[in-house]
């Protein structure tokens, strides 16, 4: 924010930002060229998080806008894999017929985040790259075991959301596509009723010898943690009947450091176990 003597602190606006150089590429290749040419580039996708960064003191010298790179707004599926462009907005993504058909649970979860003003502009890739724990797409994609494709001048590098949090995104690269395997995904659920204290997303995948349960848990201040449990059964009614015991086994893996200024680990353990058990109690209808 900027201090104006006559008005006090006011949010950053286009008038209060210093002049900067703007790149407007029309393709992924041109975007990579712009990122390579700029001294310290800032990437503009939907722009909603960028406004927050301006108010936190960011003063860009060079900006690369992705508004005209149509390739980054595509959605496609082949019955095995769902591919979502990094610049697909929350609204466009969750209402897309392909997404709804391929992973209905993920589509419903995606539709619940943010408010309408944000949803029409904010993008899936921007939400991920911001690396803010309170942003929910990282949690949703962690539970879905998504892969993030980064395009570089040397080719494509694939990371997980956890890799992104660990700082493994290559320099001067561009997140282009989020990929989700759909053929073995049996069930997906999202629980955000206790935000900001705790939020979790859960996926259930078929395996040759059973099922894999993937549960991502986060808080307002803590980045998503992935908890997984392999089960040697495919009997969904049995999972529903034993939901509490299964949930306990999953949350027994919660790291000892998982606590924040609002919620202790003991609270997250108890709340998370209860929420997951409630999710699993309905899995028989998947």
Give mean pLDDT, residues 51-75: 91
What tokens appear for 10 in the block? 């006011």
Strand order in the sheet with 62-65: 21-23, 62-65, 41-44
Q: What CATH topology corresponds to 185-285?
A: Enolase-like; domain 1 (3.30.390)
**SS3 state at 101:** helix
**Is pLDDT at 286 greater than 70 in this prediction?**
no
pLDDT per residue as tens digits for the range 192-236: 999 999 999 999 999 999 999 999 999 999 999 999 999 999 999
Query: DSSP assignment, residue 111?
Result: T
Q: Identify which of 170, 169, 280, 285 has the alpha carbon closest to the alpha carbon of residue 231.
A: 280
pTM of the shown model? 0.92
pLDDT over 90 (residue 54): no
Ranges of CATH 3.30.465.10 domains, the chain: 73-181
124 in Cβ contact with 180 (< 8 Å): no
Nearest residue to 90 via CA among 136, 147, 54, 42: 136
Question: For 97-156, how does the pLDDT look when each residue is reduced to its tens digit (9 = 90+)?
Answer: 999 999 999 999 999 999 999 999 999 999 999 999 999 999 999 999 999 999 999 999
Distance separating alpha carbons of residues 249 and 257, to the nearest angstrom: 18
Length of the chain: 286
- Scanning the structure block, which residue is given the tokens 């955000």? 192
- Of 76, 21, 89, residue with least CA distance to 49: 89
User: What mean pLDDT value characterizes the chain?
Assistant: 93
- What architecture does CATH give domain 73-181? 2-Layer Sandwich (3.30)
Residue given tokens 């075991």 in the structure block: 145
Residue 285 is predicted with a pLDDT of: 74
C-alpha distances out from residue 62 to 25, 44, 137, 153, 221, Å: 13, 10, 27, 20, 30
Mark out the alpha helices in 177-242 (DSSP H runs): 236-241
Rounded to an integer, what distance in angstroms lies between the CA atom of residue 13 and that of residue 260? 33
Domain with CATH 3.30.390.50 in the chain: 185-285
């Amino acid at each position: 924010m900027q201090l104006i003597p006559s008005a006090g602190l006011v949010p950053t606006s286009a008038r209060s930002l210093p002049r900067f150089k703007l790149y407007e590429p029309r393709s992924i290749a041109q975007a990579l060229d712009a990122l390579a040419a700029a001294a310290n580039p800032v990437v503009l996708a939907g722009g909603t998080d960028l406004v927050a960064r301006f108010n936190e003191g960011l003063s860009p010298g060079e900006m690369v806008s992705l508004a005209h790179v149509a390739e980054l707004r595509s959605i496609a599926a082949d019955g095995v894999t769902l591919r979502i462009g990094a610049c697909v907005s929350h609204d466009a993504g969750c209402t897309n017929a392909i997404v709804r058909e391929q992973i209905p649970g993920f589509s419903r979860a995606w539709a619940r985040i943010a408010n309408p003003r944000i949803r029409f502009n904010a993008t899936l890739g921007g939400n991920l790259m911001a690396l803010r724990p309170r942003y929910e797409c990282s949690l949703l994609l962690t539970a879905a075991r998504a892969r993030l494709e980064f395009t570089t001048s040397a080719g494509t590098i694939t990371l997980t959301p956890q890799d992104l949090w660990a700082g493994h995104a290559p320099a001067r690269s561009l997140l282009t596509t989020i990929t989700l395997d759909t053929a073995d995904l049996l069930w997906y659920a999202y629980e955000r009723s206790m935000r900001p204290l705790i939020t979790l997303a859960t996926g259930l995948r078929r395996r040759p010898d059973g099922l894999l349960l993937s549960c991502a848990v986060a808080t307002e201040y803590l980045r998503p943690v992935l908890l997984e449990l392999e089960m040697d059964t495919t009997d969904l009614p049995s999972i529903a009947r034993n939901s509490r015991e299964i949930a306990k086994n999953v949350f027994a893996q919660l790291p000892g450091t998982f606590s924040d200024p609002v919620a202790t680990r003991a609270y997250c353990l108890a709340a998370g176990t209860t929420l997951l058990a409630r999710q699993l109690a309905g899995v028989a209808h998947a």
